[in-house]
Chain A
Amino acid sequence: MDKYETHEHDVVVIGAGGAGLRAAIEASAAGAKTALVCKSLLGKAHTVMAEGGVAAALASADNRDSWQTHFRDTMKGGKYLNQYRMAELHAQEAPERVRELQEWGAVFDRTHRGGLNQRNFGGHTYPRLAHVGDRTGLEMIRTLQDQGVHQGIDVFMEATVRHILKDDDGHVAGALGYWRESGRFVIFRGKSIVLATGGIGRCWDITSNSWEYTADGHALALWAGGELIDSEFVQFHPTGMVWPPSVKGTLITEGVRGEGGVLKNSEQERFMFDNIPEMFQGEYAETEEEATRWVEAVVSDQRPDARRPPELLTRDVVARAIRREVRAGRGSPHGGVFLDIASKRSPEAIKRKLPSMYHQFKELANVDITAQPMEVGPTCHYTMGGVRVDADSQETGVPGLFAAGEVAGGMHGANRLGGNSLSDLIVFGKRAGEFAAQHAAERSAASSFDDNEVEQQAEKMLAPFGREQGENPYTVHNDLRNMMQEKVGIVRTEDDLVSALEDIGRLRERAATVKIGGNIGFNPGWHLALDLENMLDISEAVTRSALLREESRGAHTREDFPETDDETWGQQNLVTTREESGEIAVRAEPLPEMPDELKELIKE
């Protein structure tokens, strides 16, 4: 294929967030010629926005912690739907991966003794999140980026991959994409391909996610014949900004609650005390006095003799509780609830531990969080669902195709604990890089692909320019986001989900006829027009999975099936495929059997 610019590598990593960078570092360290492709500039991926911290049982802030406890917390947070092997590897390997970041130059906050400090977060039994104030993701991505640039990785910035090319045997052969700057097509040939493209949050209206989160990797895998798992589980983070409108959805780190912040309704009640679910009974403080004692011990670096405040329950629980308060008419003026840290910590402590939250509210909402409460409400934040992979190697069902980071599914089950994503990225990013390099080493050359397929794809990508008439892609995207927010949000019903599927059908027709102005160079309208296809396919995967799972569990709540059904649904994962016909299909599969020693660990 001489017609298009072509690059050839052993390993092609798509995505340069924490997972992609870590994979590329590992692959190139193993001797593989490695390409790293990303849609934005290097260092701007979503990982840069992560705030609260990276979870690892380092036992530096509290020596009672261990990988076993981390494993148990993760499984419990995921309501036991997690792929146990991923949760096990993650808990075991996260400490080593975090120490390695430190050796590569990351400067984490310190304890009084000079070790790595760790903060409390929802669902973690001990203080477990290594952090840098509230900008942990920046520290992590910069460290990896600076490490990566010295390893001879070829970085291709502002290139978007649209299609995975395969050979006749179904093995990956390369990736076809376009340069955002010029619109020219480009092919990355590779013996192994690693997807590290992040999440899907741009399918919802209120989200903490950036423009990049258009479900690209999820769709690339599905289109290439891979499977998705746990698609119904989309995490709504309880605390997004609700006011002013322009920042609706922007994240407020859980670190605010970890540092002692409390949630109150318009009647000044700490409503989380009334919202402790069955499975967490006895683990959380039951009075304000006890909760306060816990905070006071923790902030003075002492081991608390009290149980933690219920504000630190898992995200699914807190998000639903907030929604309930607002619906019951006890919300804040702009439709959220109050998050108050001002009355709990000194202004100096707030500014030191949560500098970017302070800054964000001051600049964007005219709110001084050292003096006033914040108004907060749920925001679409993270997808537990993702590409199904082998736990050890991160290889998907498509030979030569690997996936790591938020795009991969299975690790978090029905709900992710805060801090478990950043650790997921480095644990499984490393593994994906290692196994992708190994796989590449076993193959003599990159596979060949069918030139016609490239031509067909290229033609399809250019189609929006040829149309005389058609809608603006932004309008179609907005309608999709509003629809998903309304019908496939925090609380779901059969009626809404069925109606959502019909809407998706209509939106597909509209998406197929959008029209683009201007030329092909750096044209965001065109980029969005193409991304509509991924977003529609993955929205459908989420909706169909949500419809099939007739129970409430973790991040998936069905108003018409409010109970958690451990007998049936608690034993199954939902798997999404794309049929030959192009249809999206979902089926249930039994959970893999957990070895006895792990079963012991999760017993109460």
Chain B
Amino acid sequence: MIEATNQQVTLEIFRGDDDGGEMTEYTVEVQEGMVVLDAVHAVQAQHAPEMACRWNCKAGKCGSCSAEVNGHPKLMCMDRLDNYEAGETISVRPLKTFPVIKDLVCDVSWNFEQNSRIGQLQPRQGTDWLFTQREADRVQEFRKCIECFLCQNVCHVLRDHDRKDDFVGPRFLVRLASLEMHPLDDGDRLDEIKDEYGIGYCNITKCCTEVCPESITITDNAIIPLKERIVDRHYDPVAWIWRKLTGQK
């Protein structure tokens, strides 16, 4: 374990762009409690000021610093160096699913395009805006998303099969669920979710849920209920109408 002060750590960081590059080794001094992002910053300050990486909050709140550390998709700012063995070389790569701009920075603009396809809340006419915390809880879980895109990165539909044209990916199914399950929403997006956003491509492997740093139960709480609603609509219209009528979101 890396602990006492002023130990050294060796990182192997991808340097390059979409046309190629190589893993470059750096050794930096580290202090107790440091995270991978600190070590990357130390590399910038001591060896390679021109090395590119994204970060903002350094507290797991903004979702900027996503990378693959020793092959695992992580937020670098929440990944402590003492998670690794002393003397172990830590490899840091950019997300695989998106094109690399430079070093650890990827082009994630596809995700922003997906988001702009999704419409806003459609509040019930004349609502008094009263609802309980229990009703809020369900949606608040989805709204914790910090858009780190780690789930998008691991979902095999996007990562291995590159079906970006057909499938919006778990992050945006979460967003759609947050609208569909809002206690005062009156919209109906089920057909779009099936036909345009491609929920059928998801085969419930749960890889997305496993990597979510916000512990959103993406598959069980967002995707599966949406799938069920779609099934109901097409194969059990009575259940669907019942839910609509009773306002059970």
Contacts and interface: CB of A to CB of B under 8 A. Distances in A.
Given A132-B143, A150-B116, A245-B33, A211 B121 contact: no
Contacts of B130: 113-115
A474 B45 contact: yes
Given A245-B33, A247-B33, A522 B60 contact: no
A115 B129 CA distance: 7
Interface residues of A, number: 67
A364 B82 CA distance: 11
A42 B55 CA distance: 13
B132 A114 contact: yes
Interface in B90-148: 101-103, 105, 108-109, 112, 115-116, 118-121, 123, 129-133, 135-136, 139-140, 143-147
Contacts of B44: 474, 524-525
Interface in A308-338: none
A250 B59 contact: yes
Given A110-B136, A524-B49, A105 B32 contact: no
Contacts of A526: 49-50
Contacts of B52: 521-524
Interface in A235-256: 243-247, 250-251
B116 A110 contact: no
A149 B115 contact: yes
Interface stretch (A418-426, A511-519, A557-565, A571-579): A511-519
A59 interface: no
B35 A246 contact: yes
B227 interface: no
Contact of B119 (A114, A150, A212): A150
B218 to A, nearest CB: 17
A342 interface: no
Contacts of B108: 41
B127 to A, nearest CB: 9
Given A41-B64, A107-B182, A114-B130, A247 B59 contact: yes
Contact of A244 (B34, B102, B121): B34
B56 interface: yes
Contacts of A274: none
Nearest to B50: A518
Given A474-B45, A522-B101, A210 B140 contact: no
Interface in B129-188: 129-133, 135-136, 139-140, 143-147, 179, 182
Nearest to A528: B49
Contact of B32 (A108, A149, A244, A472): A244
Nearest to A525: B49
Interface string A391-415: 0000000000000000000000000
30 contacts: A41-B64, A44-B56, A45-B56, A48-B57, A48-B62, A105-B179, A107-B143, A110-B131, A114-B131, A117-B133, A132-B143, A138-B146, A142-B143, A147-B120, A149-B115, A150-B120, A155-B112, A181-B102, A210-B57, A212-B56, A246-B34, A246-B38, A250-B58, A250-B59, A356-B61, A364-B35, A365-B33, A478-B45, A516-B50, A519-B50
